[in-house]
Amino acid sequence: MIKEVSSFKDILKMIDDTIALLKQQLAENLKKLEDARVRAEQVKKLRETFKNLLGEEVLVSGKEIDLKDAKILINPDPLTELKAIEEAIEKINTTILTLQNLRKSLEPWTTVEVPSRITVVVKEGIPVTILLKL
């Protein structure tokens, strides 16, 4: 995505807004993670019980379809679901840290008066290129 802004303060506001949104998503995903952990633990205990009763492991897992850049998990078991949620939370945390570090680096630039618009190239919610034309 390409955005145009009038100042570095606008870039900081854009970063702050993105961080706020990501923190909200993180809170929602942490709730989902806790639910997934409970289900995963229940399945783990159930599998152990079946193994003790039957003498062999009972695996009931869903189907995975690889789409090259994504996966479709049909009827995933709770352990697979837990892993997917943990990966999503890790990505959100990494993005928040990246944005916080970028914000800190850009703060001194807020005093710079620019004669024209600033073009910001944003990739996956993170400003990756700032075009400043003099």
Q: What span, in angstroms and rounded, lies between the C-alpha atoms of 3 and 94? A: 22
- Residue-by-residue pLDDT tens, the chain, 134 positions: 999 999 999 999 999 999 999 999 999 999 999 999 998 898 888 888 888 887 877 666 678 888 988 988 887 888 888 999 999 999 999 999 999 999 999 999 999 888 889 999 999 999 999 999 88
pTM of the full predicted structure? 0.79
Three-class SS state of 98: helix
pLDDT confidence of residue 79: 85
DSSP string, 8-61: HHHHHHHHHHHHHHHHHHHHHHHHHHHHHHHHHHHHHHHHHHHHHHHSS-----
- Torsion of Cα atoms, 101 then 105 then 111 then 114, to 10°: -100
pLDDT for position 60: 66
